[in-house]
Amino acid sequence: MAATIVATLKSATANSYVTLAEANIYFETVPESTTWDNKTDDQKNRALISATRWIDSFTYYGDRCDDGQALKWPRNNYEVDNVELACTAIPSNIKYAQYELAKALANDTDAMTGNKGTEGIISETEVQLGDMKEKKKYSESSQGTGLTNNILDVYPWLQSFLGAYMLGGAGTFQMRVVRG
């Protein structure tokens, strides 16, 4: 079944901040767009929806404009660069983050899957103390899957788009402190 974008502001069924048409127009303005243009509309829609989910995984300053809206944006009761967030629009940086993250996810579908238990874990170890030697080999089938990768570790450039709006970060991502 083909993915369908619902980008209606404050909708209870919205799954994207932008439409496919908006994304295609955005990529007409960037230096390198072939890795977006070479995807089918369904692949693009799926990437845009997935990018929205990741963007919505963060906690943001301000308040949702409507308790019934499915997505975290639009928001109000916060300002960035002396501009108050409005319930009538999604900030450009949120849209830019979605466009760029969608392109990245469309071109690396395994970027956020995490460790599958076959990589990054030592499968054989040998310890020797004097004449005593111990060798262990771990079965890959018994290794559990790892945690999903942190989106900001995989795509650190996202913080340049989202950082001013985010209440908290993850890993080495640092946020500005607002007092008062």
Q: DSSP per residue over 92-116, as a string?
A: HHHHHHHHHHHHHHHH-TTTTS---
Look over the chain and give the mean of its residue pLDDT values, rounded to a whole number.
83
Q: Which of 23-32, 127-136, 170-179 has the highest mean pLDDT?
A: 23-32
Burial 39-74 (b: 16+ CB within 10 A, else e): beeebbbbbbbbbbebbeebebbbebbeeebbbbbb
Residues 140, 123: contact at Cβ < 8 Å?
yes
The residue-averaged pLDDT of 25-46 equals: 95
- Asked if pLDDT for residue 7 goes beyond 80, the answer is yes
**pLDDT at residue 135, as a whole number:** 66
Average pLDDT of the segment spanning 90-119: 82
pLDDT class of 154 with cuts at 50, 70, 90: confident
- Record the pTM: 0.75
- For 51, left (φ over 0), alpha (ψ -120 to 50), or beta? alpha
The span from the CA of 162 to the CA of 96, in Å, is: 9
Q: Which two tokens stand for residue 102?
A: 């969608």
Choose between 49 and 131: higher pLDDT: 49
Note the pLDDT of residue 146.
47
Percent of the chain with pLDDT over 70: 74
Q: What average pLDDT score do residues 113-141 get? A: 57
110 vs 49: which has the higher pLDDT: 49
How much is the pLDDT for 141? Answer: 47
pLDDT category at 127 given cuts 50, 70, 90 is low
Instruction: Give residue limits of the domains in the chain.
Output: 20-114+150-165
Instruction: Give the mean model confidence (pLDDT) for residues 53-67.
Output: 95
